[in-house]
């Protein structure tokens, strides 16, 4: 198939990256094989969306990114304004109005013969590419089939802190294959105590008797999750952020997943059992609508200067 004529002949039209102190077309961005971000998963990152030309909750993403770097003893020698400026410029050069914007801090490269992580020079990378959907909008309307993994548990938080956004996805990927084998479209992992945690790139909510339930621990504190909790409070919905035993999942009338990459994504069956009438539930759809409406709300948006 031939490519459609490029609407934009700019070298950045497929995305723009910031690597080694330069802006480059995303397809040309390269990092060293010796960077411990690659060889040791010694990295943290964050992803913020641009929707209709505006960053959504950029401050919350930068706060989380800064907290994560601090936790990992990383220092980029770049302040928040500097990071923000690079993200803006990546989006500006790409010209994208809807974009998936990633910022990455790696441990960097060792000195010759060195191994001590505190001696490395930490590196910052960033890129803006077209917006990514974990679940495409038409599939969201139909709803996802969620499997709760039986053979895979989430890496314990005493080993890898899930509140520090990380590349330790071995458990999540293994769970995704398990879900596929069991006829599901996606997966959520339990922890070692049998409580629900999260899935590959998203948090989980159940709706039980009109109230929201989402795990309090063992998960990334998603910005979309937080937005849903904020919107729920504004709409007078009760939300419980507390341990969520897998054994309680059968009580759910509705369920949904939340992520920067896709928003509020309805779930219509869990472990093969339909939820409600098997279509996306009313509270889910109400929150999904308000989530997207909030992308025009000035308190949560930062326009890109194209």
Ligand X SMILES: Cc1ncc(COP(=O)(O)O)c(C=O)c1O
The H or E element spanning position 140 is: helix 137-142
CA 121 to chain centre: 26
Tokens found for residue 17: 């990256």
Place of tokens 């995305």: 15
Q: Counting contacts by CB under 6 A, is residue 198 touching ligand X?
A: yes
| Nearest C-alpha neighbor of 270 from the set 84, 144, 85 | 144
Q: Which of 109, 213, 225, 295 binds ligand X (CB under 6 A)?
A: 225
Q: How far is CA 29 from CA 17, 25, 87, 224, in A?
A: 6, 7, 15, 29
Least Å distance, CB 65 to ligand X, is 11
Give least dist CB 10 to ligand X, A: 28
Minimum distance, C-beta of residue 230 to ligand X, in the bound complex (Å): 12
Stretch that binds ligand X, among 195-203, 237-245, 268-276, 277-285 (CB under 6 A): 195-203
Question: Facing residues of 196 across strands?
Answer: 190
Q: 23 or 55, CB closer to ligand X?
A: 55
Give the burial class of 211: count Cβ atoms within 10 A of its Cβ; 0-12 exposed, 13-18 middle, 19 or more buried: middle
Candidates 15-23, 83-91, 174-182, 223-231 — which segment interacts with ligand X by CB under 6 A? 223-231
Taking the least distance from each CB to ligand X, the nearer of 198 and 254 is 198
CB-nearer residue toward ligand X: 61 or 93? 61
Residue with tokens 């007078």: 236
Distance of CA 81 to the CA centre of its chain: 22
Using CB under 6 A as the binding criterion, the count of chain residues that bind ligand X stands at 13
Does residue 222 belong to the site contacting ligand X (CB under 6 A)? yes
- Is 123 an interacting residue with respect to ligand X (CB under 6 A)? no
Q: 90 to each of 32, 70, 123, 146, 192, how far by Cα in Å?
A: 21, 24, 17, 35, 41
Contact between 99 and ligand X by CB under 6 A: the answer reads no
The single residue among 122, 144, 186, 260 that binds ligand X, judged by CB under 6 A, is 260
| Site residues for ligand X per CB under 6 A | 47, 198, 201-203, 220, 222-225, 258-260
């Amino acid at each position: 198939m031939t490519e459609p004529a490029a609407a934009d002949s700019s070298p950045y039209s497929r995305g723009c990256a910031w690597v080694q102190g330069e802006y480059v077309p995303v397809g040309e961005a390269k990092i060293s094989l010796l960077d411990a971000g690659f060889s040791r998963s010694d990295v943290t990152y964050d992803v913020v969306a641009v929707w209709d030309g505006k960053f959504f909750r950029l401050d919350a993403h930068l706060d989380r990114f800064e907290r994560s770097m601090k936790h990992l003893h990383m220092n980029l020698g770049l302040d928040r304004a500097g990071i923000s400026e690079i993200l803006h410029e990546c989006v500006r050069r790409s010209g994208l109005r809807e974009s998936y914007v990633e910022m990455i801090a790696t441990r960097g490269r060792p000195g010759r013969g060195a191994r001590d992580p505190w001696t490395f020079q930490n590196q910052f990378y960033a890129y803006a590419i077209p917006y990514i959907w974990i679940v495409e909008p038409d599939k969201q309307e139909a709803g996802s089939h969620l499997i709760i993994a039986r053979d895979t548990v989430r890496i314990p938080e005493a080993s890898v802190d899930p509140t520090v956004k990380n590349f330790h996805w071995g458990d999540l990927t293994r769970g995704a294959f398990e879900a596929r084998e069991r006829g599901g479209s996606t997966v959520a992992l339990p922890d070692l105590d049998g409580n629900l945690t999260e899935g590959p790139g998203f948090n989980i909510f159940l709706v039980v008797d009109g109230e929201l339930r989402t795990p309090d621990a063992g998960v990334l504190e998603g910005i979309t999750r937080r937005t849903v909790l904020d919107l729920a409070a504004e709409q007078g919905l009760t939300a419980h952020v507390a341990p969520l035993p897998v054994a309680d999942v059968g009580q759910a009338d509705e369920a949904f997943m939340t992520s920067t990459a896709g928003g509020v994504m309805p779930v219509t069956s869990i472990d093969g059992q339909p939820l409600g009438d098997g279509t996306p539930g009313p509270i889910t759809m109400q929150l999904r609508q308000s989530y997207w409406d909030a992308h025009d709300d000035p308190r949560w948006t930062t326009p890109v200067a194209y």
